[in-house]
Amino acid sequence: MALESRPVPNRTAATSSTAPVQNRVPAVATAPGSAAKPVASRIVSLDQFRGYTVAGMFIVNFLGAYAVTHHILKHNDRYFTWADSIMPSFMFACGVSYRLSVMRKLSQFGAFRTYSGVVRRSLGLVLVSLAMYGLGNQFSSWSEVNAESVKKLVANVIKADLWETLAIIGMCQIVLIPFVARSFRVRLATLIGFSVLHVAISYWFNYWFVYGKPTWMDQYFFGLVGRRAWDGGCFGLISWSVPMLAGTLVYDVVAVRTPGRSLVPLFTAAVLFMGMGYGLSCLSRLYDVREGATVATLESDPSFAAEPVWPPLENARGRPWQDLLGEMPMVPPPPPEQRRINYWMMDKRMAAQPFMLFATGFGIAAYCVFILLSDIGGVSIPLFRTLGTNALAAYAIHHAIEIMVHQVVPGDAPFWPVAGGLAVFMLITWMMVRFLEKNKLFIRL
């Protein structure tokens, strides 16, 4: 796993300069079974973009606890907001770094050493995630500890509680080991295949599995009916691999083109991804409750469509095409009384494909901005540089500072105390990460 794009002499510290560096090098490394690709030693725009996503993650995590926070800055299960864009963008940035790191190490160390290192570091990220957020459940007394309760605890972890950002990154890297060094076409086909696979398993069982409704998976393996998962749960890795794969594809573009020549294909890809995501989200309009249309509801919860993945195509009859367009991103959909909850909403909890594809395109478009600013304009924003070049340390530090500030700024606080708390939280976090940067301490797995 590579959370940064700079070469380092060892796993725990680096002494490289922070001055802008061209993202081209003359050396070429070749992975077994893949075409020769130039392997960049550093991509300045990636450091800046990653810093932006880390800063965005801190803002969203902090403000999510407050009632006064605008919905654009909060996660939502039914539609896309700026807050929802941050994690897919971070996954995308990790995909760029992942491809860069693997291609460089394959030429130096060979396949076994490279991929065994990926597994170790990825599992390390999972362990860090567990250390930061815990198992999600606990035993209140020793008398509760038995085989059945331990089994249920493990099932809860696997289904829902494990899947914080670092754990998702680590496990997605393991999932993508067979593909990360393959050709552009193979990785593009894998991206498409993973998107289709997620829709297929959601139709089969995963939609109800994530939302805690009865399925054969719960009945025979987990026994956790009623327990909802976050960010797609364990099978969400299939979907979260999409932005990471997109990052590996983008690396191929920026590694062989000048910054100016990379913008057109990248922005085109961004528009295509966002267009596909929005287009798929329009299927949610087929679940509108309207005169002359019937949308069967789930017996145990009428907010949900009885068949949330296979859309009722008959509900398109007689409607003008304008009436089948979904709401624009950042705009909330109507309540379940007017539109039944379904897979085709831009649903981050489900890690549904309309959300994932649109968010991936949004991340690529945002990265284009940083290519313009950093690789072409030579602009380096100090905050983004500090967070982007030491992302793992920043992520670990921010959690403790966030808890501390939340203890003195309650969730019902008005705007100004929340804004002040955010400023204090960001300042303390930045100062601590900046201290590590000044002392050339860069924590990596």
Q: Cβ distance 51 to 37 under 8 Å? A: no
Separation between Cα atoms, residue 436 and residue 415, nearest integer Å:
32
Q: For residues 120 and 139, what is the distance between their CA atoms, to the nearest angstrom?
A: 30
Relative orientation angle of helices 82-109 and 44-63, to the nearest 10 degrees: 140
Q: Where are the beta strands (DSSP E) in 12-85?
A: 28-29, 37-38
Q: What local confidence, expressed as pLDDT, does residue 7 receive?
A: 37
Q: Residue 247 in contact with residue 98, Cβ under 8 Å?
A: yes
Whole-prediction pTM: 0.89
Amino acid 230: pLDDT: 85
3-state secondary structure of 264: helix
Instruction: Write down the pLDDT at residue 445.
Output: 65
pLDDT of residue 34: 43
β-partners of residue 341 are: 304
C-alpha span between 322 and 320 (Å, rounded): 5
Q: How far is residue 131's CA from residue 235's CA, in Å, rounded to a whole number?
A: 22
Q: How crowded is the C-beta side of 382, counted as CA atoms within 13 Å?
A: 7
Angle in degrees, CA 95, 255, 115, rounded to 5: 45
In DSSP notation, 217-245 reads HIIIII--TT---STTGGGHHHHHHHHHH
Query: Which of 103, 98, 323, 340 lies closest to 207, judged by CA?
Result: 340
Distance in angstroms (rounded) separating the CA atoms of residues 219 and 206: 13
Tokens of 439: 């002392």
Extract the tokens encoding 165. Answer: 């950002």
Q: Provide the pLDDT for residue 153.
A: 86
pLDDT for res 29:
42
Show the 3-state SS of 148-193.
Answer: HHHHHHHHHHHHHHCCCHHHHHHHHHHHCCCCCCCCHHHHHHHHHH
Distance CA 8, CA 117 (A): 15
pLDDT of residue 218: 78
For residue 346, give the nearest of 30, 127, 83 by alpha carbon: 83
Segment (H or E) for 303? strand 301-305
**CA-wise closest residue to 353 among 280, 253, 249, 252:** 280
Instruction: Give the pLDDT score at 42.
Output: 63
Q: How far is CA 308 from CA 56, 61, 81, 294, in A?
A: 32, 29, 22, 14
Spans in the chain with pLDDT lower than 70: 1-42, 445
Domain locations in the chain?
A: 28-438
